[in-house]
Each structure stands twice: as structure tokens, then as C-alpha cells.
Structure 1
Amino acid sequence: MKPAYPLAVTTGQDIWPTPHRSTSLYSIVVQLAAAGQGRFPATLGRAIHSQVLTWLQAGDSSVAQAVHSTQVSPMSLSGLVGRRRKQGTRPDDEFYFRIGLLNGDLLEPLLAGLDTWGTQPISLGNFPFVLRGVEALPGEHKQVQIGNYHLLSKTSPVSDDLSLELRSPTAFKQGKKTIQPFPLPELVFGSLLRRWNAFAPEDLQFSQIEWQGMVSAFDLKTRVLRLEGGPQIGSVGWIRYRFLDAEQARIASVLAQYAFFAGVGYKTTMGMGQVQSLNHA
């Protein structure tokens, strides 16, 4: 396993064990290899989430408890990415998943937990895997990035036309029972604004906004993600938004870049809502 990324990082904000100090954002990639032969479930969102919490627990139990208890998750998680053979997975087939960290203080305990785990077997959906490596430095993997709230808040150029690619099913909870699969601007940027304000330094937080953006073009289709708790419907494809208000365009431009780390909508810790800006791809 590769050595932990060499940063001195601390932990927490609000319910976190110590005051939040890092303003960094991370997207890291966990590389796995199949350790068995056969088939595993099409989606492993709950299993991946549980495994990441186990690694955090190994790195710092108080941080893991804080992450588990918070209402706004400081992480986003992709599904398992890799080749799915028609005849079934074979030993040493390679897979990966991505972890987005909205609180940079989580990096050190997460990497410490991964390092402690070492070569122990990993079970996802009752299928065995082994840890092959962790990519945490930009340039090692196309999905690895490092960001910063201060730098993102100065996103330039500002655009009144913003395009997003929805890479995994994306949907939004409206009320207690209604699920909206179409990414309306107020739902997309409202979701991102809530996450930003939950973890950005206080001086960088935005006031609440009545979004006045409009959808100018899209190519979307609905897709079912069969999670352990039942099937979930969301949209995948691309969509373009237009903001006529200059200040809303500025904030939306910032949040569009933030989406890569944060995810959009609900169940972003289960593989849903994986989104990337097409303006600064």
C-alpha cells in the first residue's frame, strides 16, 4: 500500500472532536482487486459507506462517530468502478471507488485507518476484495483532486451559462415522500449551497438564495440504481443552466466546481449524485 499523503491535518467542526481548521477539499481514489471469483451486486453503496466508516474508526474513533452522527455528511462516495465480466469477476480484476472529503480534517484519520487496514480482506456485498492502493496526489488518477474553499470562492471566469455532467443517478428529496429526478436549478444549487455552508469557513459562507436560474438545454435519461434499501431513480447525462442575475451566476459558478467534491442531491454517500462541471473539466 502506498504511504499516507504527508499532510498534518486535524479534526472537526461543530460536533467534531476539535475545532475545524482545514479549508482543504480532497477527492481520493481507493484501488481494489477482486480476491475471489463470481458475481457481486450491481451496486454496493451501503457496503462501501460502511467500509469507509470502518477505516475512519480505525484511524480515529471520535471522528468516525462524528461522521456517523452528522445530518450533512462531510463525504461523497462513488459506486464501485471497473470491468464487469459477463462470465463473472475473476481474481485480480481491478476496481476503484472515489471518496470526496468536504472537511479536509478527515484526510489524516482516513489515511491512517487505510494504512492500519493494510492487506486485510475487504468484503463488499459478500464478495472478497483486497486493498491495492490509495491515490491521493493529483496526477496519479484522473479522479484525484485537491481543492480549497478560499480558492473555490474566487472561481474565475464567472459564467452565466453552466453545464454539469451527472455521472451517476441524481435525484432530490422533496418533502417526506416525494423524489424529484429532474435536476431543477433551485434543487441542484440549493443542495450544493447547504453543503458549502455546512463546511466552508464562516467568512466564506453564502446567504440563502431564491434561485432564479433556468434550464437552457439538457440531454438526460432516468436510470435505476438498485441500492440495498430498494431501487432509486435518478437522472444521468448533462444539463445546462443560465443565470441572468450576476451575483447568482457568480455563486453558482463556485458551487458548480464544488459539486465534484460534494456530490448533488440525496444519497451522495451511496453512489448517487456524482457530478462534474463541464465548464472547467
Structure 2
Amino acid sequence: MLLSLLLTLTPIKSDILRGFYGREAQAWLLGQVAQYDADLAEDLHRPNTRRPYTVSTLIVNDAGRRGPDGEIAIVRGNEVQLRITSLDTSLSELLLAKIVPNLPQHLRLKWTEFCELRLSEENGWDDQTTFEELIEDASAQKGESVTLEFSSPTAFRFEQVDQTLPTPELVWKSLYQRWNSFAPERLHLDPLWPDFARRCLVVSDFSLRSMKVAFQNGQKGAATGATGRATYRLLPEKHCGEFAAFRPGAANVLRTLAGFALYAGVGHHTTIGLGQTRWLRSSRSLQD
């Protein structure tokens, strides 16, 4: 089961949020998991593996005022949000059966305290599905382009260098790798998909800006990524060269991975807040 949850938190007092809260949110989630399943928590924290979850930083609505250095003012009583996704059935079931029904009434992230944790109402960033249902949904849709919204800085590690532009090759390779890591083997995509994406997908429209975030804790203290929107369009078969044979079914794969982005995130550091992404089927924003 694939799961995307949005939690609401209420600040106990007005405060200034400095830096990125992704690492602290990840630590809180792993602590919650460990209370009910220590082995699963250890697996989720295993290094050098693709982890089956994502965690956002704190999400502040438009009432939060951003300062020149990226600091955000939050107001006592004005709700903020935290998003968690799972690509693993065991984790998804634990979240729904144990963690969400028993959310703590108080939470401290860095030096900021919150109360009244609860599950948020539906807003386009929360859902649950299966890999099979994603494929069925993609088959029922039409069109040969998709627009992705990158709501938190999205970056990639490519040939030992950090890359900030969400190019077709980097975006769709990232989604392909996560899909084949967690989907049932019978649903795995062809290994040539990343090469196909590099050759046969183009960015036809975009509205992007770069954003630098400071994690503060740990050795890797900062990252720069892209936020905004980008539309990816399939080229006609005649422009796909040696990949022309893959072109007839490519639109279904494109839409399937676009739907998968809600749960998987895009790029690196998705477990500490980067790469929060969704297929934009409406004009709503994560912080609407």
C-alpha cells in the first residue's frame, strides 16, 4: 500500500523558523515507528539504501512571512503541516493502525513546540493507493504531457555532483529507480526507460526558481534545489531514434510515474524534506 499523510500541528507560541526542519521531522517519525516496531525503524534508518518513505519539512501557509535569509514567522494558534509518505505496506499499515490514532499531543522540533497533532483534511497531497491502481489510473487518463509541482527544493546527485535543474533525464530516472525498487517485480519497468526519457522527453513549459535550505545539523548542512512547476512532453515517435519501439506505450508509463511522484518524491534527500512532488492536475499548491 502506498500512503501519503498530512498532519496538522498548532504552534504553542509565535516563533521564527530558521533553517530546514526535515531532519528533525525524520527523527520524530523514526521514533514513533520504533515505539511499535523496533526492527522496522532500524530498517528504515539503514544507510546507503533507497528508503521507502519521505518526510517534509514544516509546511507554513501564506500567513507565514519569509524573511531575507529564509526565516519564516509563525503565529501562535495558526496551524502548520507535516507530510509523511510510505512506499512500504508494513509502514503504511503501522501509520494507519498505530501512529496516527495515537499521535502525541505535544511535539518539539528543534526549539519550536507544537500541540494538537491531528490528521489533516483532504487537500490534494494526501491519498492512498497501490502500484496496480496507479497503472489503472494512468491508463484511464489521456494526454502525452504531465506537469509536476516541486513544492520543496528538488535536487539530484549525478556523477558525484549535485544538480539542481529537474531535467527529464534526472526526474524520470529518479522515479523509475524508486518504482523498480519498491513495486512488485512483475510490474517493473524496462531498464531502458531512463535512456528513453533522456531522448524522448522534453520540458515544454516551466516556472522554477532555486532555493537554498540549511539543515544545520549533521555534516551535510545545506542544499540547493528547484521549486515550482515543469511540464514534460513526449516527442513524436519519429524523433525517438533507436527508442521508437518504446514510444506507443510511453504515455501510460509517463502518467503512472507522475502519479507515483506523490508518494516517492523526486531526487535525493527526500527523507529529510527535499523533493516533495506531485502530478499537478489542478491549480492548488501545497501551501494553499
What count of residue pairs does the alignment treat as equivalent?
Answer: 253
SS at match of 1:39: strand
Note the alpha carbon deviations across 1:20-62, whole angstroms, 9 max, x for none.
xxxx211111221112443232420110011011111112111
**Cα pair distance change 1:234/1:88, threshold 3 Å:** closer
Give the TM-score normalised by structure 2.
0.80
The alpha-carbon deviation at position 224 of structure 1 amounts to: 1.3
**2:212 matched to 1:224?**
yes
Give the TM-score normalised by structure 1.
0.82
CA distance in 1, matches of 2:119, 2:132: 26
**2:52 matched to 1:74?**
yes
Greater share of helix residues, 1 or 2?
Answer: 2
**2:233 matched to 1:242?**
yes
CA distance in 2, matches of 1:222, 1:105: 36
The alpha-carbon deviation at position 116 of structure 1 amounts to: 4.6
SS at match of 1:152: helix
**Cα pair distance change 1:81/1:280, threshold 3 Å:** closer
The alpha-carbon deviation at position 180 of structure 1 amounts to: 1.0
**Cα pair distance change 1:107/1:277, threshold 3 Å:** same
The alpha-carbon deviation at position 158 of structure 1 amounts to: 4.5
The alpha-carbon deviation at position 110 of structure 1 amounts to: 2.9
Which of 188, 204, 208 is 1:205 aligned to? 188
CA contact (8 A) 1:45 1:270 kept: yes
The alpha-carbon deviation at position 94 of structure 1 amounts to: 1.5
Which of 259, 262, 265 is 1:263 aligned to? 265
CA distance in 2, matches of 1:52, 1:162: 31
Alignment match, 1:134: 119
For 1:233, give the aligned amino acid: T
Note the alpha carbon deviations across 1:121-176, whole angstroms, 9 max, x for none.
321112212242124xxx64442211210011221325322221111111110122
Deviating 4+ runs (over 4 angstroms): 85-88, 114-117
Gaps of 5+ in 1: 1-23
**Cα pair distance change 1:48/1:62, threshold 3 Å:** same
Q: Spell out the pairing of 1:1-281 with structure 2 (5 A cutoff).
A: 24-69=1-46, 71-82=49-60, 83-84=63-64, 88-111=73-96, 112-116=98-102, 118-119=104-105, 121-135=106-120, 140-154=122-136, 155=138, 156-176=140-160, 178-208=161-191, 209=193, 210=195, 211=197, 212=199, 213-228=201-216, 229-244=220-235, 245-279=247-281
SS at match of 1:159: coil
Alignment match, 1:20: none
SS at match of 1:69: coil
Alignment match, 2:244: none
CA distance in 1, matches of 2:228, 2:13: 33
The alpha-carbon deviation at position 265 of structure 1 amounts to: 0.4
Instruction: Give the fraction of aligned pairs with identical amino acids, expressed as a percent.
Output: 28
Note the alpha carbon deviations across 1:86-109, whole angstroms, 9 max, x for none.
895444331111111111321232
Which piece of structure 1 moves more, 188-197 or 29-38? 29-38
Gaps of 5+ in 2: 67-71, 236-246, 284-288
Note the alpha carbon deviations across 1:233-268, whole angstroms, 9 max, x for none.
111121111223233332121101100111100111
Note the alpha carbon deviations across 1:48-88, whole angstroms, 9 max, x for none.
01101111111211111111116111111222112436895
CA contact (8 A) 2:100 2:118 kept: no
SS at match of 2:262: helix
**Cα pair distance change 1:34/1:198, threshold 3 Å:** same
For 1:33, give the aligned amino acid: T
